[in-house]
Amino acid sequence: MVHFEYSGDMLLARLSGEIDLKVADALRRELEGALDRYPASFLVFDLSAVSFLDSTGLGVILGRYKRVAEAGGKVAFVGPLPQVKRVLELAGVLRFCPLFSSWEEARVSLRGEACG
């Protein structure tokens, strides 16, 4: 469901599978634990392996956005499949969080372009 990579002041959360009501509580706990352990200025969600995202899963992501932004940090997304990107677009998330094609692109660009 989630694998973390930490690089300097960036935390990459690689999500996979279906992010929905069934996994929301476990995902929330995993993300909160990672943010507690790694006080990152930048949180990047890699959504390239997410096949489905519902409103509950989106709520988990937005809750972490709120936490990071309130601490002065920034959040971005990497590589969602078309159906997941559509959810982000419909929810208006991409108006305040940038979307990158790769983790490398996010690492290079994020400091000046991510939301927060």
- Flag whether 33 is in a domain: yes
- In a domain, residue 88? The reply is yes
Predicted model pTM = 0.92
pLDDT at 101 over 90: yes
- Domain carrying residue 59: 2-110
- The answer to whether residue 100 is domain-embedded is yes
* pLDDT in the model for residue 32: 96
In a domain, 116, yes or no: no
- Looking at the chain, the whole-number percentage of residues with pLDDT higher than 90 is 84
For every residue of 27-93, DSSP letters joined together read HHHHHHHHHHHS--SEEEEEEEEEEEE-HHHHHHHHHHHHHHHHTT-EEEEE---HHHHHHHHHTTG
Please tell me the distance from the alpha carbon of residue 79 to that of residue 45, in angstroms, as a whole number. 9
Domain annotation covers residue 73: yes
Question: In this structure, what CATH number is given to the domain that contains residue 53?
Answer: 3.30.750.24
- pLDDT score of 107: 87
pLDDT in the model for residue 18: 98
The region that residue 80 occupies, defined by phi over 0 for left and psi between -120 and 50 for alpha, beta otherwise, is: beta
For 18, the 3-state DSSP assignment is strand
Q: Does 43 reside within a domain?
A: yes
Quick: pLDDT tens for 41-85: 999 999 999 999 999 999 999 999 999 999 999 999 999 999 999
Q: Name the domain count of the chain.
A: 1
pLDDT classification of 40: cutoffs 50, 70, 90: confident
Domain presence at residue 115: no
Q: What is the dihedral of CA 90, 69, 25, 94, to 10 degrees?
A: 20
Give the mean pLDDT of the chain. 93
Is 18 contained in some domain?
A: yes
pLDDT for residue 34: 96
